[in-house]
Amino acid sequence: MSLAPWLIVPAAGRGTRMRADCPKQYLELDGRPVLTHTLARLHDAFPHGRLLLCLDPHDRWFDDAMVPFADWRRIDGGAERADSVAAAVGWLGERVGDDEPVLVHDLARPCVTVEDLRRLYAAVASNEAGALLATPVTDTLKHADGAGRVAATVPRDGLWRALTPQGFRLGVLRAAFERAREQGVAMTDEAAGVERLGLAPTLVEGRSDNLKITHPEDLALAALILRAQREAKTPLQGVSP
């Protein structure tokens, strides 16, 4: 498989749950914007990767100098994450073959390690239905009754949290978005669309510290994770400072 995967990075969110003055990707994390951490990890893992960065067309914080990739382009994002990814998939579909490997990674996940990125990419090569990083659920799960009370305890056996990246051959990804559009269904990750094709993407167990920065308290947590990863170093070869 090509050593230069296509990397779709949805980065057009507004970060409403973060309740900050700017989108969360521009908040400072360990001395620099969240965005630069995530892109540095991707670049460390895939220096020759080809980046499609989905940005809000009205984004006034972004600067080209923040991107470490030689080969990259900006894609106008949409109203929802799936719309942003669909725009990038559409761009690719008009230009490259269906066998090309594509990884989709949330910009809001800056703590993904180089090792996990490469393990996931290797899994994409050997699984026709693609693969995603995921981690087994460790909490007890409750189903709510709509009035803030417990309706049931949900058995957690076999339940995993879906992380990113998620990787597929372009043809599979294109078919998944096409099917979702025809059926008018919303999907919160790419694997959900691929499942609707009757395919079963492979779960690749990833690190549980691959946090998606969503709420204000996640920023401090992400800073601690990055620091701990830097200090651990050995299993994380190639991690940017």
Ligand X SMILES: C[C@](O)(CO)[C@H](O)COP(=O)(O)O
**Dist CA 76 CA 92 (whole Å):** 13
Cβ proximity to ligand X: between 5 and 13 the closer is 13
Q: Which one of ligand X, ligand CTP, none is in contact with 14 (Cβ closer than 5 to 8 A by kind)?
A: ligand CTP
Cβ proximity to ligand X: between 162 and 236 the closer is 162
Options 13-21, 152-160, 178-186, 230-238: segment touching ligand CTP (CB under 6 A)? 13-21
Cβ proximity to ligand X: between 45 and 108 the closer is 108
Identified binder of ligand CTP from the candidate list 127, 135, 202, 214, rule CB under 6 A: 214
Cβ proximity to ligand X: between 81 and 169 the closer is 81
**Dist CA 165 CA 132 (whole Å):** 6
Identified binder of ligand CTP from the candidate list 84, 113, 166, 210, rule CB under 6 A: 84
Q: Which one of ligand CTP, ligand X, none is in contact with 17 (Cβ closer than 5 to 8 A by kind)?
A: ligand CTP
Question: CA torsion, points 84, 89, 91, 92, in degrees to nearest 10?
Answer: 150
CB 95 within 8 A of CB 50: no
Q: Does 110 bind ligand CTP (CB under 6 A)?
A: no
Q: Considering only the C-alpha atoms of the chain, give the largest distance between any 2 of them, rounded to a whole number of Å.
A: 52
Residue type, 170: L
Q: Which of 171, 174, 172 is nearest to 182 (CA)?
A: 174
CB of 198 to ligand CTP, least distance (A): 26
Read off the tokens for 22.
């700017």
Q: Does 107 bind ligand CTP (CB under 6 A)?
A: yes
Coarse DSSP helix, strand, coil percentages of the chain, rounded to the nearest 5 percent: 35, 20, 40
Binding positions for ligand CTP, rule: CB under 6 A: 10-17, 24-25, 54, 77-81, 84, 106-108, 212, 214
